[in-house]
Amino acid sequence: MKFFEVFGNAKYVLSADKNQFPYVRKSFSVEKPIKKATLTVSVLGFCELYANGEKITDDLYVTTYSQYNAQTLEDIGKVSPEDGYFNDELRYSAYYSQFDVTRFLKTGKNALGIVVSGGWYRTGNDKYGCHRNYGDTKTCFRLQIECEDGERIEVLSDAACKVCESFLIKSGVYHEEQDERKEIVDFSSADFDDSSWAYAVETDAPETEYRLNECPANKIIRWVTPKLVKSTSKYAVYDAGENITGFPVLKTVCGAGEELRCAYSETLTAEGDIDPEHGYKQESTFITDGRKEHNIRFTWHGFRYFQVSCTGGAVTCDRCAVVHADLKNTSTFRSDSEILNWIYDAFVRSQLENYQCGVPTDCPQIERKGYTGDGQLLCDLGMMLFDSRALYKKWLQDISDCQDAKTGFVHYTAPCFVGCGGGPGGWSVAVITVPYAYYRAYGDKAVLEEFYPKMCKYVEYMEYSSADGLVTIRDRIGWCLGDWESPRGRDGLLPPSFVNTCFYINALQQLSKIAVLLGKETDCERYKRRIVELQNSVNGAYYDAATSDYCGNDQGSNAIALKAGLGNAKTQKNLADRYAEADEFDTGIFATKILIENLFKNGYADVAYSMLNSQGECSFNDWKRKGATTLYESWKNARSYNHPMFGAVVEYFFTYLLGIRQTGDGCGYKKVLINPVALEKVNALSGSIQTVSGRIAVSIDRKDGQSTFVVEIPDGVEGEFVYGNMRIKLSAGENKIVI
């Protein structure tokens, strides 16, 4: 929608002195009984909302992160002016939120109050010294009041708003510093005297599309109790007990003007102090005003350990808030395999803690960005396990916004954070894979219709970006990555052109199916011809006819090739034989998922389980032995200890171990196949998913030469159970099968 369609005659306002973190206030009177009042608000930054001295919502970081508006070179730190970004024709979205505020208002004098912070609109510097601003923070609101007698009144943001410096010293998404002495607790009360405050300045609304925020908000989801692990005369160190996203609530007994500091990390040094190498300069600072409790309010940190000190005396902590988007894990999984249970639990924690501000992020502490590589890798699983439909619908818009309308190039993060690395295959392919996953999960064909032109434009870019039939990258400053985070590091990765071309083939395979669904059979045939051409190019460059291997059957390369329709029976056998002998992974984020899928799918379930349960340095068991509660970014020497991407293998716990799959190319779980693999090493397992068609659950119990399967499917779903040579039509409700 256009700005005036949402906000009418309201204006964005800011401080005349460009203070980025102001209080904003507007007082007004309503002389009649109020029937209903709706507040529509857009703060470009984050904010807290108040009316008549009460906080309107417990939502955090209002409103969701997006690609708000065009940026200038000055807005973006440490980026070359020659970067292709500055020539891109992108789309922009700014989200507004609506709240029913009827209960907060009264007949007579009223006031609205807003505390503004930088958020993602004005980030401040990250650990690399980079910032990505979109301009000055600004505030717009429209309060629509319907009186009992039918009269309608509007209260709008305009030059009559009053502004004042707030208690925030720094407040971008990466840092927060507070001077508590400047906090005005009652600034939004109706009787507050704002005569000394300055008037706000009206400013132009950014040229962007205004969208209603329907994405789950960030909230305090739960609390954990930290333990004191070190105390000196100068500082104390606490352990939250698990890797979390959020903040500690700090307690002091001191007067005003003292400095309270808190630094965060995922690990400790040998001396028991927080490790700066895994802290990434995450810090909070408070200048105290004598209150007893202190916490940040406009951002989160990713940490397990935190170190606190105060010039005015000791600091204690008895609770930490766990903060992420208010999504529920609607799946269950349990087995008699300790490692499978650990992988599932660690993935669920990692993924939930990386649903932040409407974006599936890569990590909560270093970058916090919506990398399309990680996101497309995990989207099927994210939609399967969580009530994440609204979040992924919003993220689809981010992906659309970050595609260059001229060339079809899709940036490696959505929203776009210029300068981030990726590849046109494994990352930019999200413009095809995520909409298709959304269609498959929810049966929403309209998403495919909307995205099909964007997918075709992406294909144009991929053709332009190919040389000798292989995908490369042109006219862009930045990496062209293949498979990310193999144990061998960046220099030991598989050839990027091999990985990106195979991913392009996979995308064209999906696009062929989409074309048929949309009645574009001619396009489908063209895509199929192009797939053959690309397959021939990969064979010419990377296939060894003497061994039937691709790239030496190294780092899951045969699995990547087989998924792209390449190779033969010997390629498959070589792959299975290699990993039957392995005791650790040598694969990066993409090949790990593809490898496990291949082994389960092609009759090597025992090898897949052996890899999942491997004991070497590069294994899930190694992370578990180290006490990890979330998944690492790398098999070894990981920067981040909270990256969900290697957890993509959890998808196959449900689709192969439990056997819950959609029939053919079906969607919305209208037709399901329950086809568990036979795996003697796991004798008891159960799990469920909540689909748009209802709950599907499977339990398996193997003992004394007998296997008992209990399958539950909802009404209206057509289901079939397949195990070995047995095929049984399932009925709605519970089905018990004994073999």
pLDDT in tens, 399-430: 999 999 999 999 999 999 887 889 999 999 99
**pLDDT (mean) for 433-459:** 98
Domain end (from 213, 237, 270):
213
Residues facing residue 30 across a β-bridge: 108
CA 489 to chain centre: 24
Identify the pLDDT of residue 11: 98
Residues facing residue 694 across a β-bridge: 691
**What do you get for the CA distance between the two ends of the chain, in Å?**
58
Same domain, 297 and 401: no
Evaluate if residue 382 carries a pLDDT over 70.
yes
Evaluate if residue 182 carries a pLDDT over 80.
yes
CB atoms within 10 A of CB 704: 5
In contact, 173 and 123? CB cutoff 8 Å: yes
Identify the pLDDT of residue 145: 98
Binning pLDDT at 50, 70 and 90, where does residue 490 land? Answer: low
In contact, 180 and 287? CB cutoff 8 Å: yes
CATH number at residue 689: 2.60.420.10
Total H helices, total E strands in the chain? 14, 38
For 323-363, the pLDDT digits (tens) are 999 999 999 999 999 999 999 999 999 999 999 999 999 99
**pLDDT (mean) for 511-519:** 98
Domain end (from 213, 235, 250):
213
CATH number at residue 246: 2.60.120.260
CATH number at residue 444: 1.50.10.10
Evaluate if residue 492 carries a pLDDT over 80.
no
In contact, 499 and 511? CB cutoff 8 Å: no
Q: Which residues contact 231 (CB under 8 A, 6 or more apart)?
A: 237
In contact, 396 and 408? CB cutoff 8 Å: no
Task: Answer yes or no: is 604 within a domain.
Answer: yes
Strand 301-310 versus strand 293-294 pairing type: unpaired
Task: Please give the structure tokens belonging to residue 156.
Answer: 């709008």
Evaluate if residue 82 carries a pLDDT over 90.
no
**Could you give the angle at which helices 372-385 and 389-401 cross, rounded to 10 degrees?**
160
The whole-angstrom separation of Cα 250 and Cα 268 is 20
- Angle in degrees, CA 334, 339, 343, rounded to 5: 75
Same domain, 254 and 377: no
Identify the pLDDT of residue 368: 94
The whole-angstrom separation of Cα 90 and Cα 69 is 9
Same domain, 226 and 200: no
% the chain with pLDDT above 70: 99
Identify the pLDDT of residue 73: 85
Identify the pLDDT of residue 491: 62
Task: Answer yes or no: is 554 within a domain.
Answer: yes
Identify the pLDDT of residue 132: 84
* Dihedral angle of Cα 558, 563, 564, 567, to the nearest 10 degrees: 40
What's the chain's average pLDDT? 96
Peptide bond into 63 cis (omega under 30): yes
Task: Answer yes or no: is 665 within a domain.
Answer: no
Same domain, 308 and 377: no
The whole-angstrom separation of Cα 273 and Cα 586 is 32
Evaluate if residue 245 carries a pLDDT over 80.
yes
Task: Answer yes or no: is 245 within a domain.
Answer: yes
Alpha-carbon separation of residue 313 from 230, 262, 295, 378, 687 (angstroms): 16, 14, 17, 46, 51
**pLDDT (mean) for 92-120:** 98
The whole-angstrom separation of Cα 379 and Cα 251 is 40
Identify the pLDDT of residue 478: 66
Identify the pLDDT of residue 680: 86
Domain end (from 213, 237, 272):
213
In contact, 200 and 159? CB cutoff 8 Å: yes
Task: Please give the structure tokens belonging to residue 448.
Answer: 């495919």
**pLDDT (mean) for 382-390:** 98
Evaluate if residue 479 carries a pLDDT over 80.
no
Task: Answer yes or no: is 97 within a domain.
Answer: yes
Task: Answer yes or no: is 232 within a domain.
Answer: yes
Task: Answer yes or no: is 191 within a domain.
Answer: yes
Same domain, 648 and 681: no
Same domain, 320 and 355: no
The whole-angstrom separation of Cα 411 and Cα 83 is 12
For 602-641, the pLDDT digits (tens) are 999 999 999 999 999 999 999 999 999 999 999 999 999 9
HEC readout, 176-226: EEEEHHHCCCCCCCCCCCCCCCEECEEECCCCCEEEECCCCCEEEEEEECC
Same domain, 286 and 145: no
% the chain with pLDDT above 90: 92
Identify the pLDDT of residue 482: 87
Task: Answer yes or no: is 460 within a domain.
Answer: no
Number of structural domains in the chain: 4
In contact, 443 and 667? CB cutoff 8 Å: yes
Higher pLDDT, 137 or 492: 137
Same domain, 204 and 233: no
The whole-angstrom separation of Cα 621 and Cα 628 is 10
The whole-angstrom separation of Cα 679 and Cα 531 is 35
Task: Please give the structure tokens belonging to residue 231.
Answer: 């105390």
Same domain, 32 and 132: yes
Strand 176-179 versus strand 283-289 pairing type: parallel
Evaluate if residue 127 carries a pLDDT over 90.
no
Return phi, psi of residue 599, to 5°: -65, -45
Q: Which domain holds residue 495?
A: 332-448+470-509+530-652
Same domain, 283 and 203: no
Same domain, 706 and 643: no
Same domain, 408 and 346: yes
The whole-angstrom separation of Cα 325 and Cα 252 is 30
Q: Which residues contact 722 (CB under 8 A, 6 or more apart)?
A: 659, 673, 674, 675, 728
For 277-332, the pLDDT digits (tens) are 999 999 999 999 999 999 999 999 999 999 999 999 999 999 999 999 999 999 99
